[in-house]
Structure formats: C-alpha cells, structure tokens
A and B are shown apart, each in its own frame.
Chain A
Amino acid sequence: MIRLEKICKSFGHLVVLRDVTLEVDKGEVVCVIGPSGAGKSTMLRCINHLETLNSGTIYIEGQPVYRYMKDGKLVIDREKRVDEIRAQVGMVFQSFNLFPHFTALENVMVSPLHVLREPMAELRPRAMALMAKVGLSDKIDAYPHELSGGQQQRVAIARALAMRPKAMLFDEVTSALDPKLVGDVLRVMRQLAFEGMTMIVVTHEMGFAREVADRVIFMADGAIVEEGPPAEIFSNPKNERTIQFLRSVLQRRQDLGEETAPS
C-alpha cells in the first residue's frame, strides 16, 4: 500500500531521515514511536509530500510518486498528480488545522465538494454520518473556535475521512490535547483501525500502540531502530535505545502519577 525505500531527508546540515525503508500493507496499523527529533513526523510529512525527499523513493499502491528515477532519469510529478495522490491519503495534524472560517460540517464537506466534485445531495448526508461517527452530531454548525481541542481533532479526522482515503496518517494527534480529551480521539482511531483502515500513527500514546497496532516501529536519530509486533516491542525490546526509551516513558508516567499503559 505504502512503501518507503531508502528515503533520506535533511534540513540544511541537519539529517532528519537516513535511509528509512518501510512497507505498510493494506489494512495494517503501524504505530511509530520514539524520542522527539527522531524524524517520525518528517517521515509522515514526506508521504504526503509536505516535505520533499533528498533521495529515496515513495511508492503508493505500487506506483512511485512525487519524485523518482525512471530509466535513469529523475521524474518530478506534475502538481496535478501530486494533488491527486494527496487526496487519497488522509492526514491529521497535531495542531488540528481546521479551517476557522468554516463550520465543522463545512470543514468536512469543503474538499469532497471542490476536489471530488461530489454532488451536495450525496455529500451532505455522508458528511453528517461522518460527524456522527466521530461523535459530534450536535456540533455540525459550530465554528472551530467554539470547539474543544478534542472535538476539533475529531472534526479533523472526519474531514480527512470525507475524502475516502486509502490510508490515514496521524501525526501526534493527541499531543496538543488536554489529557481528559485524549480518550475521545483515541476511541475514534481505534474504531477506524477495527474497520480495516490502513493507518500510520505517530504517537506518544503507548497504551494505544500496544492495543491497536499490528506493528510498532521505534525510530531514533532518523532511522528505524527496531520494529515488530507490539507485544514484542513493549515486553521484550532488543535494542538498547528502545529499552531506554520505553523505560523513560514509563518512568515519566509514574512520576506524573498516571497509570501505566493499560494492556
């Protein structure tokens, strides 16, 4: 479904991704964990071409996309194709990025309406159903500034789903939320995962990763250090850095007096 092949990305002299190779199958839920600065978010952003690769290739449904070598020549996709690919991969951001001049429902409808040219008669009920799915049927006419962070983030998920994406990318979507509101967002994501959506989730929610992920990726210093099924990564990590990271996360949680990850 999505394949990254030796992708490299640097900002000036700072190398953020080094030869990252990753394959995500259809319907698979991959959670990406790791310390900040590990390149997790950058990797997601590269998949949606919000960052341009320095080298390596991204394949979506088997096709190389954005910029790739073909017969020894560099091909740069036209903007139109880039837009088409992006329309097929939904993305949810840490900072929600809802459009403030639209109501919640309008946020959900704007892109299918203008990009997919879906008729209003079909779109409106579908958008309402998506709002119901994220548990916000009563907020369709609210503007983003009238919603809590958790509600905004759920609208953002509905907005991305409205494009009928083949995969969803979640970029630390609960990091900016009040701890009390995290649960509502995670519940929606869990539901999506059960419905078979292909998901790449960059997260600090170890409980969620353990419970929902088919596979957990641990990244550090721009590379994938360790990967495997959640049970293995969390209970029996092999790499020294993974062990350290998990220990520090666990420690921090105990310091905060929170419960450790539910299993």
Chain B
Amino acid sequence: MFQNITSLFDFEGSVEYLPELLRGALVSVELTFCVMLISLVFGLIIALMRLSRPRVTRTVSTIYVEVVRGTPCLLQLFYIYFVLPAFGIRFDPFMAGVIGLSVNYSAYLSEVYRAGIIAVPRGQLEAAHALGMSRAKMMRLIILPQAIRVVVPPLGNYFISLFKDTSLVSIVTVKELMFTGQIIAATNFQYFTIFTIIGIIYLSLSYPGSLFVSYLERRMKVGYRRKPSRLIAKAG
C-alpha cells in the first residue's frame, strides 16, 4: 500500500511543475488581498447603509445583500464573465474574479459589521446622544471603535475562507493555484501528485492564518489597552 502511494507520487515531475504551481499560489494570494481590501471597505459602507435612516439606502442595501447571499458565487462569476460581455461590459479574467468575489464578500462582511454595530449596548448610544453628538460622530467615535473588537475575529475567519474560495475563479480562467494545477494535470495526468501538492500549498498558507485569527481572538478578550486613544489625540 505504502509502496503503491510512493510510486504514484511523481517526485521527479513535481520538481518541474512546482514553480508553476507556486506562481498560481501567488495569484491566489493576490486575489485574496485585493478582494479582502475592497470588501472591507464596501462591506462597511453597505452595513452603514442598512442601518441608516433613509428608506432608499436601507432598501437598496438590503436587496443587494439578499440577492448576493441567495445566489451561488459561481453563478455570479459566470454572469460577470460570460453574460456581461453581451452588454458590452468586458473584464479580463483576473478583474472578473476580483469583482465577482468582492461582490460576494462585501455582502457577507456587511453582515459581520452590522452584527458588531448592533452588539454595542443601547446605553452607549444614549450617552453619546445626551452629550450632543451627531449620528455621524457617535458612529465614528463611540460605536465603530467598540464594534471593531467584536468584529475582528469573524473578519479573520472570512479572510481565510476567502483564500480558499479564490479557487472558484478558476472557472473564469484566472490562472490561480487551482486552475494552474488543472492545466498541468490535463497534460500529464498526474492527478494524485498535483492535487496533493495543491492541497499542501493551500493548507500551509491558511493554517498560519487561522493561528493568527485565534491569536487576535484571545487579544480581543483582554481589556482595552493602555494607550491614549487616537480619536482623542488627533482631533481638535
């Protein structure tokens, strides 16, 4: 059995295509960072829209979140890459991948933000109001700084799951890790070797990530740090 496995694994060949796979992994990492950055910003905007008072912004953002969450990410990618060109909107594969994933993750992250904002006790809002703060100031000075603490660990988890989800964009021919592997495997049929290596690469990148997230979780549990708040230092 063990004999079998070692003979199945193409050690010599793997040296040859490992650089190719690592290049693919780099694209996956790039995708992850691009999408996360965009989604962190848009997710917050959507969350604030959902919690805003005007009916229009509330409705639009709610519809957005429900539509995105209610349809498969794969379908959305297909839509962006194959359907939109019919309307004259064209993206290269990488762009299509970034947009598709960002659309998705913005929706998911907005829900994380929203949960964090709602978790801030009502008394905090009342105290801020009673001190004459406007809604915007209250959000910036009082609510968001407290919400962030609640929100950082789940955001970290989404970050890791995003890294794995970048494999979805192989469907729109982005040469990230998964698609690179598929291309190589299609020519030399070393499925076992290639997909094992891919698995190891994904794991070796995401595991340190989860360690970092649990570190953050522990840190957020301790009290507030002794360090003058920037919200106080920079204003005036």
Contact = CB atoms under 8 A, between A and B. Distances in A.
A50 B129 contact: yes
B229 A86 contact: no
A45 B224 CA distance: 30
Contacts of A98: 127
B146 interface: yes
B157 interface: no
A97 B126 CA distance: 8
A49 B126 CA distance: 10
Contact of A101 (B137, B145, B236): B145
Contacts of B130: 48, 50, 86, 89-91, 93, 160
Interface string A204-228: 0000000000000000000000000
B236 A120 contact: yes
B223 interface: yes
Interface in A76-108: 79-80, 83-84, 86-91, 93, 95, 97-103, 106
B123 interface: yes
B134 A93 contact: no
Given A93-B127, A101-B224, A111 B132 contact: yes
Given A93-B123, A95-B123, A102 B229 contact: yes
Contacts of A88: 132
Interface string B211-235: 0000000000001101011011001
Interface residues of A, number: 42
Contacts of B228: 103, 106
Interface residues of B, number: 28
Interface of B, secondary structure class, is helix
A111 B130 CA distance: 10
From A91, A102, A109, residue with most partner B Cβ within 10 Å:
A102
Interface string B125-142: 011111111110100011
A70 interface: no
A106 B229 contact: yes
Nearest to A118: B236
B223 A143 contact: yes
Nearest to A121: B236
Interface in B26-68: none
A119 interface: yes
B160 to A, nearest CB: 27
A89 B146 CA distance: 25
A114 interface: yes
A123 B123 CA distance: 25
B222 to A, nearest CB: 11
B133 A111 contact: yes
B161 interface: no
A114 B124 contact: no
A95 B124 CA distance: 10
B126 A93 contact: yes
Interface in B82-124: 121, 123-124
B223 A113 contact: no
B132 A84 contact: yes
Contacts of A100: 146, 224
Contacts of B232: 102, 106, 109-110, 113
A2 to B, nearest CB: 15
Given A79-B135, A101-B149, A102-B231, 13 more contacts: A97-B123, A99-B124, A101-B229, A109-B232, A110-B232, A111-B133, A113-B236, A115-B137, A117-B236, A146-B223, A156-B127, A159-B131, A160-B130
7 contacts: A84-B132, A87-B131, A106-B232, A115-B131, A118-B236, A119-B236, A163-B131
Interface of A: 48-50, 79-80, 83-84, 86-91, 93, 95, 97-103, 106, 109-111, 113-115, 117-120, 123, 141, 143, 145-146, 156, 159-160, 163
